[in-house]
């Protein structure tokens, strides 16, 4: 295969105007579920002016005190009105039902309740959730609906037809962890054991009576055990295994009880997985139902299916509930039945993200028909310099890890005096390299950022500069010279997923071309559409699968992660599998696909004639070594662009009419001093002083290195000033003075929301795209 070639145009792709890069015609519009104007409820410009006057000497403390009291009164009314909003209360019931207690206390106490510690905490709870629902484009329930759209074609920038409602369709899924708990409970029920599925753990290989474990010596098995495991490889059930073994005089088993004892022992040792086996994706409920339906005893089958049907009906009642109180009651009924059937708590992981905390989750599609024409694609062309640098980044990461893995291979080959090295041995040792304190990718990332700083001339930028502007052609030429790469580092690194915002004051401005594009994030080497809950709402999900297959015809090696894999839930599981994809079983994990599963113990690494290393399977399939490890690199590259910019202040960076980098300030929690200020009024003055010192705009996003997600802060608002100080105090408690603090201008702002509903209310939104590199990966 050539190191570089351009593929023929494909139906699912269109051109990124004026560049060789290709863009998926399908795109995803993500939006907030509450109007952006709602954020004005917490703004307090008069208080900010009084505080600034107090700090500069333009006005006195008495003026500030009076303004603070007036703002506190306004805040009391704002939180009370929001607490009485049924849509807000419904969103909280879906996301975090326990918080509703604080909200209902605000409703009970009224807008003018004494502002004691408890009241202030409740104000903060409401303000924290409100900013998420009004400003963030998180895809969560009706307060973050999605809408698939199409890109390309003649005509206007966009064709927008909002429906009468906020959401068009909705579906409630049981959380996979809850289904797993139900499966465990059903497995323990009377009469079920004989019908439990049995399968070899996905990381193990049985070969000629020898069991291959990762990191252990091969184990020669007694003949009876080898016979049992051979049958288990066919994904049998307990009773079927026992019957077949007892009926075979050569098996070594004479009684079913002996088979059961052997099965129990092998399950205890982790050799076998016995029980209802559910994938970690949104098909888990259907799979559980199918496995229960396969029970051969009519009475047992009907009993457990009826129990699952009861849970499903209660879930459907949750989906049909109208209003927060009805929803809370329906959820409580579901929780009571779940606890009755499983004996487990109905909620878990409080406060964690990507955790699946409650028993079910809501997915919705916005009531909107929208498409975008070629006029928008032309405005996206300035992404090309960034895409070129992303190609270099993946190529350099690939080179770094190819070298490190080759060195490990040479050591293992020398130790064993053979060219054939078990992949399991190499995989185990490589974890310390990939996830260790100083991985090879860290130096590449630092070099990537340094090159960008040089390309942008950040070292020579005036300290007071607020924006740097570049022409697209000029910057592309600079980047091509600074990031010379002809191909991405691995096959899936051909696909990048930018999130872009269209900033326009209204739809009319957007249609006449009076808008600015802002890059929100670039997910490097990540196919963002390969996220299972995005499949819901697409009119033809198979088109997405076909598109991925066309982009990556050689297939990918996908990991089969365990249930406790970080940030891995059914909602965000990969789902765009192709027939050429393999599933790597590297630890014991649920949901193995027998048609795609490749146990790590069945794979061998050996050199080719050209010196490259390839991984060979017993069935003749083979992959470049780097392609097998590529899924581990995703975690190191996909968010790299967030780090771009100076230490200190980075001006806004605009390429033609596209904002590539928002204005950004980088400092530390310790330097802010806000973590140690006490007293509500003192905190507000400290926040205003900090804003003046850094020259910050009034509305910002902040992120501390101890948290995954950024938080919105209106620096005029008393409650958001408190939340900021609380955030920084928590970060200081976790990591000390040196915890990084990144501040970013709010762009788009509330005045840049063009997306409206049928009533004309404006909403925050973003477009998630997938862009394909015209070059194919180098074969190492």
- Domain of 436, in residue numbers: 13-31+374-643+766-772
pTM of the model: 0.94
Using the predicted structure, report yes or no on whether residue 469 has a pLDDT greater than 50: yes
**Is residue 700 domain-shared with residue 564, that is, in the same domain?**
no
**Is residue 509 domain-shared with residue 465, that is, in the same domain?**
yes
Domain presence at residue 141: no
**Is residue 318 domain-shared with residue 434, that is, in the same domain?**
no
Domain presence at residue 153: no
* Cβ within 8 Å of residue 429, ≥6 positions away: 408, 412
pLDDT score of 509: 98
Range with the lowest mean pLDDT among 191-205, 339-353, 370-384? Answer: 339-353
**Is residue 210 domain-shared with residue 343, that is, in the same domain?**
yes
Q: Any bridge partners for residue 148, and if so which? A: 28
Side-by-side strand order, sheet with 622-624: 421-422, 603-607, 613-617, 622-624
Q: Where are the beta strands (DSSP E) in 311-435?
A: 360-372, 421-422
* Cβ within 8 Å of residue 10, ≥6 positions away: 22, 547, 550, 551
Domain presence at residue 150: no
**Is residue 612 domain-shared with residue 633, that is, in the same domain?**
yes
Residue range 152-160: mean pLDDT, rounded: 94
- Which element (helix H / strand E) includes 463? none
Whether the Cβ atoms of residue 376 and residue 550 lie closer than 8 Å to each other = no
**Is residue 379 domain-shared with residue 320, that is, in the same domain?**
no
**Is residue 102 domain-shared with residue 210, that is, in the same domain?**
no
Whether the bond into 748 is cis, omega within 30 of 0:
yes
CA distance 470 to 535: 38
CA distance 21 to 388: 10
Model pLDDT for residues 683-734, shown as the tens digit of each residue = 999 999 999 999 999 999 999 999 988 999 999 999 999 999 999 999 999 9
Give the pLDDT band (50/70/90) at residue 5. Answer: very low
Nearest to 215 by CA among 461, 428, 529: 428
**Is residue 411 domain-shared with residue 275, that is, in the same domain?**
no
CA distance 144 to 30: 7
Model pLDDT for residues 529-554, shown as the tens digit of each residue = 999 999 988 999 999 999 999 999 99
**Is residue 211 domain-shared with residue 335, that is, in the same domain?**
yes
Model pLDDT for residues 29-59, shown as the tens digit of each residue = 999 999 999 999 999 999 999 999 999 999 9
CA 720, 724, 726: angle at the middle one, nearest 5? 115
Domain presence at residue 719: yes
Give the pLDDT band (50/70/90) at residue 346. Answer: very high
Whether the Cβ atoms of residue 753 and residue 32 lie closer than 8 Å to each other = no
Q: Among 338, 367, 396, where does a domain finish?
A: 367
pLDDT score of 235: 77
**Is residue 512 domain-shared with residue 591, that is, in the same domain?**
yes
Q: Among 367, 389, 410, where does a domain finish?
A: 367
Domain presence at residue 51: yes
Domain presence at residue 5: no
Domain presence at residue 306: yes
Using the predicted structure, report yes or no on whether residue 1 has a pLDDT greater than 70: no
The number of C-alpha atoms within 13 Å of 344 and in the hemisphere containing its C-beta is: 16
pLDDT score of 4: 31
- Compute the 3-state secondary structure of the chain and give helix, strand, coil in percent, each to the nearest 5: 45, 20, 35
Model pLDDT for residues 579-604, shown as the tens digit of each residue = 999 999 999 999 999 999 999 999 99
Model pLDDT for residues 660-684, shown as the tens digit of each residue = 999 999 999 999 999 999 999 999 9
The number of angstroms, rounded, from the C-alpha of 57 to the middle of its chain's C-alpha atoms is 48
**Is residue 594 domain-shared with residue 569, that is, in the same domain?**
yes
Q: What is the CA radius of gyration of the chain?
A: 29
Using the predicted structure, report yes or no on whether residue 355 has a pLDDT greater than 90: no
Q: Among 367, 387, 406, where does a domain finish?
A: 367
Q: Where are the beta strands (DSSP E) in 56-96?
A: none
**Is residue 212 domain-shared with residue 102, that is, in the same domain?**
no
Domain presence at residue 649: no
| Domain count for the chain | 3
Give the pLDDT band (50/70/90) at residue 297. Answer: very high
């Amino acid at each position: 295969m050539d190191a570089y070639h351009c593929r023929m145009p494909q139906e699912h792709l269109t051109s990124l105007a004026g560049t060789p890069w290709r863009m998926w015609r399908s795109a995803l519009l993500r939006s907030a579920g509450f109007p952006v104007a709602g954020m004005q409820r917490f703004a307090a410009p008069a208080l900010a002016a009084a505080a600034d006057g107090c700090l500069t000497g333009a006005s006195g403390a008495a003026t500030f005190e009076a303004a603070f009291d007036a703002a506190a009164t306004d805040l009391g009314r704002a939180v009370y009105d929001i607490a009485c909003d049924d849509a807000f209360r419904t969103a909280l019931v879906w996301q975090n039902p326990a918080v509703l207690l604080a909200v209902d206390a605000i409703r009970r106490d009224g807008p003018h309740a004494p502002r004691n510690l408890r009241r202030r905490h409740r104000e903060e709870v409401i303000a924290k959730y409100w900013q998420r629902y009004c400003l963030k484009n998180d895809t969560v329930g009706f307060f973050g609906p999605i809408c698939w759209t199409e890109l390309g074609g003649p005509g206007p920038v966009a064709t927008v037809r909002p429906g009468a409602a906020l959401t068009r369709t909705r579906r409630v899924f049981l959380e996979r962890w809850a289904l797993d708990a139900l499966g465990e409970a059903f497995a323990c029920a009377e009469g079920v054991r004989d019908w439990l599925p049995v399968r070899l753990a996905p990381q193990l290989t049985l070969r000629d009576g020898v069991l291959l474990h990762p990191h252990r010596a091969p184990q020669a098995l007694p003949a009876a055990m080898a016979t049992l495991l051979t049958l288990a490889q066919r994904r049998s059930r307990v009773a079927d295994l026992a019957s077949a073994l007892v009926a075979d005089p050569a098996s070594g088993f004479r009684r079913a009880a002996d088979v059961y004892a052997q099965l129990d022992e092998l399950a205890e040792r982790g050799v076998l997985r016995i029980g209802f086996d559910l994938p970690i994706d949104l098909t888990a409920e259907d799979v559980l139902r199918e496995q229960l339906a396969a029970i051969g005893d009519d009475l047992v089958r009907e009993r457990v299916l009826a129990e699952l049907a009861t849970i499903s009906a209660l879930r459907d009642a949750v989906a049909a509930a109208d209003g927060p109180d009805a929803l809370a009651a329906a959820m409580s009924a579901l929780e009571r039945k779940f606890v009755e059937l499983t004996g487990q708590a109905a909620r878990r992981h409080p406060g964690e993200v990507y955790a699946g905390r409650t028993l079910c989750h809501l997915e919705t599609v916005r009531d909107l028909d929208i498409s975008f024409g070629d006029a928008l694609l032309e405005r996206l062309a300035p992404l090309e310099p960034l895409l070129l640098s992303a190609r270099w980044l993946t190529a350099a990461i690939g080179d770094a890890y190819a070298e490190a893995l080759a060195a490990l291979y040479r050591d293992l080959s020398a130790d064993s005096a053979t060219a054939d090295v078990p992949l399991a041995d190499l995989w185990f040792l490589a974890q310390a390299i990939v996830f260790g304190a100083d991985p090879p990718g860290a130096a590449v990332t630092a070099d990537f950022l340094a090159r960008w700083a040089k390309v942008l001339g950040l070292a020579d930028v005036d300290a007071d500069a607020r924006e740097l502007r570049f022409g697209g052609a000029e910057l592309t030429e600079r980047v091509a010279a600074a990031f010379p790469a002809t191909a991405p580092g691995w096959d899936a690194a051909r696909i990048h997923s930018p999130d872009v915002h269209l900033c326009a004051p209204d739809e009319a401005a957007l249609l006449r071309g009076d808008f600015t594009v802002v890059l929100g994030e670039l997910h490097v080497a990540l196919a963002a559409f390969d996220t299972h809950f995005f499949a819901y709402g697409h009119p033809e999900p198979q088109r997405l699968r076909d598109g991925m297959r066309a982009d990556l015809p050689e297939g990918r090696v996908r990991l089969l992660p365990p249930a406790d894999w970080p940030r891995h839930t059914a909602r965000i599981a990969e789902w765009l599998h192709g027939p050429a994809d393999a599933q790597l079983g590297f630890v014991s994990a649920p949901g193995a696909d027998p048609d795609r599963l490749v146990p790590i113990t069945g794979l061998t690494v050996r050199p080719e004639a050209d010196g490259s290393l390839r991984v060979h399977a017993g069935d003749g399939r083979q992959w470049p070594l780097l392609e097998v490890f590529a899924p581990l690199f995703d975690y190191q590259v996909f968010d790299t662009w967030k780090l771009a910019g100076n230490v200190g202040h980075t001006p806004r960076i605009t390429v033609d009419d596209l904002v590539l980098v928002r204005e950004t300030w980088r400092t530390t929690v310790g330097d802010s001093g806000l973590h140690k200020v006490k007293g509500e009024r003192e905190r507000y003055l400290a926040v205003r002083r900090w804003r003046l010192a850094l020259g910050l705009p009034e509305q910002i996003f902040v992120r501390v290195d101890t948290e995954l997600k950024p938080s919105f802060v209106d620096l005029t608002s008393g409650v958001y000033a408190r939340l900021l100080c609380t955030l920084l105090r928590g970060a200081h408690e976790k990591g000390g003075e040196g915890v990084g603090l990144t501040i970013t201008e709010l762009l788009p702002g509330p005045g840049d929301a063009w997306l409206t509903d049928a009533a004309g209310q404006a909403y925050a939104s973003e477009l998630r795209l997938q862009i394909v590199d015209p070059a194919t990966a180098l074969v190492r």
